[in-house]
Structure 1
Amino acid sequence: MMFWFAIPLTLALYFATRALYRRLPWPIINPVLIPTAVIIAILLAFNLPLDQYQHGTFPITALLEPAVVALALPLYQQARQIQARLKPILVCTLASVLISVCTTLVIGHAMGADPALLASLATKSITTPLAMSVSQSLGGIPAIAAAVVVVVGILGALIGYPLLKLMRVTDPEAQGLAMGACAHAIGTATSAEKGVTQGAFSSLAMVVCGVLTAAVAPLLFAIYHWLA
């Protein structure tokens, strides 16, 4: 029964938000943020079970994996540009991972956060499946990691390009790298709407940052525990 309610509602909110954004291209009109907020409000107002709604939207959820695989297309289209700039790409993504994890450890330690919470927050800038897996291996709580990833992605989609414009970062490759490194899949979706180059480099940064975080985060946590 929920299937016939969840699917139409989700799609209607998404396409309505996209149509509204075309008329009013404001960052706050985000096809992830607004539908999410409306659906949460509806579930709370009518006391509808979340698990049933999730089950009802399973056909849409199942499309996430092929959608991620489809990101390989813009990567292929930009293969020459990526190969020519491979070294700076690796340096930038590694710097992003180090900054993301280290700032979490330093700020969290200063605020007295426990190790489980730190492990849950440290993976905030990579895509959800990897974030949950890496945070769990570090002793974190996967549910918190997933929630933080979604929040970071939405914030990145909202303020990413306005902030880049404010800082006069106009190169599409740099824009894509920044969005993919900081706002993972949601930022990549926003980048793909900006242009093929932004989408390709954002996809690349999302993948590379995920791999690097899985490799570097355990080492940084070991150093943190040794120093602490």
Structure 2
Amino acid sequence: MNPAHWLNNPMFGVGGTLLVYLAALACRRRWRWMHPLVSASAVLIVLLTTGHIPLAFYQSGGDWLSLCLGPVTVALAVPLYKNARRIKEALLPVLAGITAGSLISVAFTALLLSLTGSPEELIRSMLSKSVSAPIAMEIARRAGGIPELSASFSVLTGLVGSVTGPAVLRLCGIRGDIPLGTAMGTSAHGIGTARMIAESQSLGGISGFSMAAAGIITSVLMIPLYWII
């Protein structure tokens, strides 16, 4: 049978992704410095590139996995519910930190790209890089940016934050669950929250709340910027 028939089957994208990710998790258990999302993504890119496999073939199954993101995101409510009391007790400082982080992210991105002479369309696409991809895409669409480019920046930001964020924060002396979870959820959205859940339910719950709040706050902060940019 023609190999293209198998490659164009949705099970190729689903099965291939799951197998590679399981292998990445096994490597993570042996080499703690390896991040499973980064290594799995790198392996998939290499396989598609060297095997000359069209992206559309892989995406026919990859779209199934994307469809699962909604229920998975809702599942983040479980650790959030379990830590609702702790979040409520520190609600004002947490919201202040999320607001400050969201504001600094948007302002610093706009300033840095403006000073380097970046195209306006790139600036509009990158302003929402620190929120989850669906929110970032909608913000970019309404701001006149490129939604697909904004989603790429969002995923990249989450990956970088997930890989380096905890080490950098702890190096700066930030060790409590609430500040760590707040910082990771605000800056690295869902990918950072997944990293926090892997460490503890407490960190995951606080990070999940921060991710959701940062999405709302960033969307509100962007309203006046629609007229400025």
TM-score per shorter chain, which class?
over 0.9
Q: CA RMSD in A?
A: 1.3
Question: Which amino acid letter does the alignment assign opposite residue 22 of structure 1?
Answer: R
Write the mapping of 1:63-212 to structure 2, written as runs, cut at 5 A: 63-212=68-217
2:35 to 30, 38, 42: 30
> Which whole-Å CA distance do the structure 2 matches of 1:24 and 1:173 have between them?
28
> Which whole-Å CA distance do the structure 2 matches of 1:59 and 1:220 have between them?
35
Deviation per CA, 1:90-120, whole angstroms, max 9, x where unpaired?
Answer: 1111001110000011111111122211110
Higher mean C-alpha deviation, range 11-20 or range 49-58: 49-58
Question: Which amino acid letter does the alignment assign opposite residue 6 of structure 1?
Answer: G
3-state SS in 2 of match to 1:57: helix
Deviation per CA, 1:162-190, whole angstroms, max 9, x where unpaired?
Answer: 11121121101111111111111110100
Deviation per CA, 1:20-57, whole angstroms, max 9, x where unpaired?
Answer: 1122211xx11211111111111111211112211123
Question: Which amino acid letter does the alignment assign opposite residue 75 of structure 2?
Answer: A
**CA displacement at 1:5 relative to structure 2:** 2.4
Flag structure 1 segments of 5+ consecutive residues without an equivalent. none
> Which whole-Å CA distance do the structure 1 matches of 2:212 and 2:195 have between them?
16
1:45 to 46, 50, 60: 50
> Which whole-Å CA distance do the structure 2 matches of 1:184 and 1:201 have between them?
12
**CA displacement at 1:218 relative to structure 2:** 2.8
Whether the 8 Å contact between 1:104 and 1:122 is mirrored in structure 2 is: yes
3-state SS in 2 of match to 1:211: helix
Q: Structure 1's 210 and 145: CA in aligned 2 closer, same or farther, altered over 3 A?
A: same
Whether the 8 Å contact between 1:43 and 1:49 is mirrored in structure 2 is: yes
Whether the 8 Å contact between 1:180 and 1:188 is mirrored in structure 2 is: yes
**How many residues matched?**
222
**CA displacement at 1:58 relative to structure 2:** 3.3
> Which whole-Å CA distance do the structure 2 matches of 1:217 and 1:39 have between them?
35
Higher mean C-alpha deviation, range 87-96 or range 48-57: 48-57
Whether the 8 Å contact between 1:102 and 1:220 is mirrored in structure 2 is: no
Higher mean C-alpha deviation, range 13-22 or range 214-223: 214-223
1:11 to 10, 18, 23: 18
Deviation per CA, 1:180-218, whole angstroms, max 9, x where unpaired?
Answer: 111111101001001011100110111001011111113
**TM-score, scaled to structure 2:** 0.93
> Which whole-Å CA distance do the structure 2 matches of 1:73 and 1:117 have between them?
36
**TM-score, scaled to structure 1:** 0.93
